[in-house]
Amino acid sequence: MSGPVWKILRLEGTCDSCGEKVPELLAVGTVVDFAFRPDSRFCHVCYERYKGHRDELDPRAVAEQKIPPFISRPT
């Protein structure tokens, strides 16, 4: 089974969605070799606003939904 993993980071940082500096972040990422690697970090307010839907929180994911990456297809 694979997919995004959510974890509470007990460290101060900046929210990737709103830019607010907060004492504790929620992060979404992947687990590689039994180690969590965060892709994006969010404050509790942004997490609650979007109920943990990463595709609505992550600005990169939103941009890809509006303009999907170019995929070349064989002719």
The reported pLDDT for the residue numbered 64 is 59
The reported pLDDT for the residue numbered 13 is 92
Alpha helices in 1-75 (DSSP H): 44-50, 54-57, 59-66
Contact 35, 13 (CB under 8 A): no
The reported pLDDT for the residue numbered 1 is 45
Each residue's pLDDT expressed in tens, for the chain with a length of 75 residues: 456 777 888 889 999 888 899 999 988 888 888 888 888 888 888 888 776 665 555 666 556 556 655 666 666
The reported pLDDT for the residue numbered 46 is 84
